[in-house]
């Protein structure tokens, strides 16, 4: 069974293995824990049988007007089961009082985010890949 929570109290970095799939220099579980703890809002999907985090989403925000969702990931073996959609829905509900909620994503995800009422916009970004591991 999958349990959804935004409470990090019982989260242990040992519950965070296997994420950042395909990243050449992924953050370690300890860096992942720092990312989650430093976020404005976090939602986790936890497999209650294994007590492992199988999906997560986080948001950073000014707490007044805007929020940005930088990360959404579901472990490969749990994809196509609705976990990502549930995480996004919980996050958007948590952020519903903000004027702007932004997500920068790859082009092939336009339809995915459109199902939540998000519209296509133009974005620019800078990536310092030598900092990708957060170490």
Residue 75: name the closest of 46, 35, 107, 115 by CA: 46
10-residue mean pLDDT series, the chain (135 residues): 97 96 95 98 98 98 97 97 98 97 92 94 89 91
Domain ranges of the chain: 2-131
**Domain 2-131, CATH class in plain words:** alpha beta
DSSP bridge pairs for 100: 66
Q: pLDDT at position 14, please?
A: 95
In contact, 59 and 68? CB cutoff 8 Å: yes
Contacts of 67 (CB under 8 A, 6+ apart): 40, 41, 59, 60, 61, 95, 98, 100, 101, 102
Q: pLDDT at position 16, please?
A: 97
């Amino acid at each position: 069974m999958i349990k959804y929570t935004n409470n990090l109290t019982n989260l242990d970095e040992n519950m965070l293995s296997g994420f950042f799939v395909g990243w050449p220099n992924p953050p370690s579980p300890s860096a992942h824990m720092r990312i989650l703890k430093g976020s404005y809002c976090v939602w986790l999907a936890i497999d209650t049988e294994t007590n492992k985090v199988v999906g997560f989403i986080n948001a950073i925000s000014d707490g007044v007007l805007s929020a940005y969702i930088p990360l959404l990931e579901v472990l490969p073996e749990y994809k196509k089961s609705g976990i990502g959609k549930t995480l996004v829905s919980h996050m958007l509900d948590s952020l519903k009082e903000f004027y702007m909620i932004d997500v920068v994503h790859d082009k092939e995800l336009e339809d995915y985010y459109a199902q939540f009422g998000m519209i296509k916009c133009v974005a620019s970004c800078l990536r310092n890949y030598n900092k990708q591991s957060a170490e």
